[in-house]
Amino acid sequence: MSARVWAVANQKGGVAKTTTAVALAGLLAEWHQRVLLVDLDPHASLTSYAGIDPDSVQDSVYALFDTPPGVDLIRADVWPGIDLVAGAPALATLDRRLHDAQGLGLVLASWLRDLRDRYDHIFMDCAPMLGILMVNALVASDHVLIPAQTEFLSLNGVRRMARTIAMLDRSRRCRLSWLVIPTMYDRRTRAAPQTLQALRDEFGHRVWGEVIPVDTQLREASRAGRPPSEFAPRGRSVQAYRNLLAFMLADAQPREALA
């Protein structure tokens, strides 16, 4: 058994990255899959979602970039079947502190390599900025999920991600698979169908064929500190995440090496 590793990333903020990571993890745990969530955001919303105060976290993912590393960073069962590596505000200082160091893009990848046997799926929740942590997540992942709010201006965020992935692909001589997930789709607005069409026109088959609808139950689930599938199992957004997961598991191809 070797885990599939997914980065959830978009250089744009507030597009449902953290929500998507928790929603998918919750569904997988219900199917008795072993899941690890890694919070790579200095704002640590995922950590807060799990009921942990990021300001009190000592053993965050930051420790991996420190010497000597080694403390056991994994918090078991923050939700049934779901483990967490917490984020913390200190992560914001990494780029400045490690500015000149070599080989830092591989820190997360080499740590996860030893963990792959323990999990079926690993999700990394990225902060909305390109820095050392996002590069680490992209290098460590088999697939990238790019949630994109179906609102005007969301195209720019996806374009930036596509450029970042292309740049990494060139330097690493491989092709990372990525999928755009249209989120917060409100069919009563004009922006939603127009943005969806624009995403499909520009990114074609890389855009998932369905959408995650706007659904206030997702916000309520996070306020309650519970995965959406447990909070509102029959909610429409949970059903959409179920469909997304079925698509991801059937479709996702591993990283291709370029000739």
Ligand X SMILES: Nc1ncnc2c1ncn2[C@@H]1O[C@H](COP(=O)(O)OP(=O)(O)OP(=O)(O)O)[C@@H](O)[C@H]1O
- Decide whether 17 or 121 has the Cβ nearer to Mg ion: 17
Q: How far is the CB of 21 from ligand X (least distance, A)?
A: 8
Q: By CB under 5 A, which span of 37-45, 48-56, 97-105, 251-259 interacts with Mg ion?
A: 37-45
Residues in Cβ contact with 188 at an 8 Å cutoff, skipping those fewer than 6 apart? none
- Our finding on whether 141 is near ligand X (CB under 6 A) is no
Q: How far is the CB of 13 from ligand X (least distance, A)?
A: 3
Of 16, 132, 161, 192, the one binding ligand X by CB under 6 A: 16
Which residues partner with 38 through β-bridges?
85, 124
Of 192, 227, 237, 241, the one binding ligand X by CB under 6 A: 237
Of 214, 244, 245, 248, the one binding ligand X by CB under 6 A: 214
Q: How far apart are the C-alpha atoms of 61 and 132, rounded to whole Å? A: 12
Q: Scan residues 40-59 and list those touching ligand X (CB under 6 A).
A: 41, 45
Residues in Cβ contact with 160 at an 8 Å cutoff, skipping those fewer than 6 apart? 11, 12, 130
Of 11, 20, 45, 149, the one binding Mg ion by CB under 5 A: 45
Closest CA to 165 of 187, 148, 141, 182: 141
- Our finding on whether 13 is near ligand X (CB under 6 A) is yes
Go through 9-27 and write b for each residue having 16 or more CB atoms within 10 A of its CB, e for each that does not: bbbbeebbbbbbbbbbbbb
- Our finding on whether 17 is near Mg ion (CB under 5 A) is yes
Retrieve residue 60's tokens: 């965050």
Do 47 and 87 contact (CB within 8 A), yes or no? yes
- Decide whether 18 or 154 has the Cβ nearer to ligand X: 18
- Our finding on whether 11 is near ligand X (CB under 6 A) is no
**What ranges in the chain are assigned the alpha helix state H?**
17-30, 45-49, 94-97, 107-113, 132-140, 154-172, 191-203, 216-223, 228-231, 236-251
- Our finding on whether 60 is near ligand X (CB under 6 A) is no
Nearest 10 degrees: Cα torsion 8, 13, 15, 16? 60
Q: x/- binding map, residues 98-127, to ligand X, per CB under 6 A?
A: ------------------------------
- Decide whether 22 or 73 has the Cβ nearer to ligand X: 22
Q: How far apart are the C-alpha atoms of 130 and 126, rounded to whole Å? A: 9
Total residues contacting Mg ion (rule CB under 5 A)? Answer: 3
Binding-site ranges for Mg ion (CB under 5 A): 17-18, 45
Binding-site ranges for ligand X (CB under 6 A): 13-19, 41, 45, 128, 183-184, 212, 214-216, 218-219, 222, 237
